[in-house]
Amino acid sequence: MSTDIDFYQLLEVERTADGDTIKRAYRKLAMKWHPDRNPGDAEAEARFKAISVAYDCLKDPQKRAAYDRYGHAAFTQGGGGPGAGGFAGGADFGDIGDIFETIFGSAFGGGGRARPRRGADLRYDLEIGLEDAFHGKQAEIEVEVATACTTCSGSGATPGTGRRACGTCHGHGKVRAQQGLFVIERPCPQCHGRGEMLEKPCRDCGGEGRSDTIQKLQVDIPPGVDNGTRIRLAGKGEAGPMGAPAGDLYIFIQVRRHAVFEREGTALFTRMPISFTTAALGGSVEIPGLDGETHRIDISAGIQSGKQLRKRGAGMPVLQGRGRGDLVVEVQVETPTRLTARQKELLCEFRETETGEECPESRGFFDRLKDAFSG
């Protein structure tokens, strides 16, 4: 197809069409070629992209005027029009050749054989303990992944043999078919767009150049990782077919719940029960931290349940940074449930000495009750 296939022909409208006509034509074609209505159809997807590019240009008066005067050169680097550097916003007109090449062939984009397809990226979920997230560690994992075939070194060809031009597309990687006004180019079904065939495929990998193997990999986990932290191992994903580059392996971290500490960002939380005598008289307790140190927590006299005490710099490390978060201890005053006779006697003596001033919150509550229901 020659380069006279332009935006107006794509939208099936006259060059004199007004904006409403162009919009109606676009909606009709977009509905017809939308990928959701044509699942798995690469040609439909390419057509949808092409008409979207065309509509993005023609609906804008400035872009349309530039296109009418300079054609596609208005939107490509080195073009003769005022848009040679591209317009801001809208579709990416720098990719126009790639889109048109998909459906119209080399007349717009240069054509040629399919590029080597890079291997797929892979995901691996790794569960670790909170202690490992604090200190960091080196973990060994096993991953089943397609790697380069050792027999053919990833080429797909039996050692000592090579490749020849595809007899179907004669080395071009594409075949053409007439469809109405358009000449449609598709990847060659015989060579899958590569333009060449193996003289003798490798027996071990069937010509793919890769085979599934179990790989043992070392993963360096830095201190401070959290749920969802992603670690990338470049080139450790699936090998590409016939010697193409491998993809990447992404390690996603999951941190197990800890028996004592909960985490929120770099802060560590824990709930600490204390006796009611410690709450009344004050004191201190010692808590072992994930850092291996013992942290002293001072408790002031008269502390109440729910009070949070903070130990600066005793929390989680900052990932890829400096410093640490805080350790936050929430106090829970525990009422004794098993008392000796002597303890009960002492408590009874204490109760006889109470004046109400010892517990201002209780006194205030009952005063409010009295006020609410009196009179």
Question: pLDDT truncated to tens, each residue of the chain (375 aa)?
Answer: 333 457 888 899 998 899 999 999 998 998 888 887 887 777 788 888 888 888 888 998 888 888 887 776 666 544 444 443 344 344 444 445 445 554 444 434 444 555 667 888 999 999 999 999 999 999 999 998 888 888 898 888 899 888 888 888 888 888 887 666 566 778 888 887 888 888 898 888 888 888 888 999 999 999 999 999 999 999 999 888 877 888 999 999 999 999 999 999 999 999 999 999 999 999 999 999 999 999 999 999 999 999 999 999 999 999 988 899 999 999 999 999 899 999 999 999 998 998 777 777 766 666 777 777 765
Q: How far is CA 273 from CA 285, 330, 343, in A?
A: 10, 8, 20
Structural domains for the chain: 7-109 (1.10.287.110), 122-162+199-255 (2.60.260.20), 262-336 (2.60.260.20), 338-375 (no CATH)
CA 206 to chain centre: 34
* HSE of 317, CA atoms in CB hemisphere, 13 A: 18
In the DSSP assignment, the letter for residue 24 is H
In the DSSP assignment, the letter for residue 93 is G
Planar angle of CA 40, 34, 94, nearest 5 degrees: 95
Give the residue ranges of the annotated binding site for Zn(2+).
Answer: 149, 152, 166, 169, 188, 191, 202, 205
| 49/28 Cα distance (integer angstroms) | 14
**What pLDDT is recorded for position 10?**
85
From the number of C-beta atoms within 10 Å of its C-beta (0-12, 13-18, 19+), residue 33 rates as buried
Residue 152's nearest CA partner among 213, 204, 215 is 204
Give the residue ranges of the annotated binding site.
Answer: 149, 152, 166, 169, 188, 191, 202, 205
| 107/89 Cα distance (integer angstroms) | 26
Alpha-helical (H) ranges within 254-359 are: 276-281, 341-353
**What pLDDT is recorded for position 74?**
63
End-to-end CA distance of the chain: 96
**What pLDDT is recorded for position 99?**
52
* pTM, full prediction: 0.59
**What pLDDT is recorded for position 15?**
87
**What pLDDT is recorded for position 114?**
56
**What pLDDT is recorded for position 39?**
78
| 365/95 Cα distance (integer angstroms) | 72
**What pLDDT is recorded for position 282?**
94
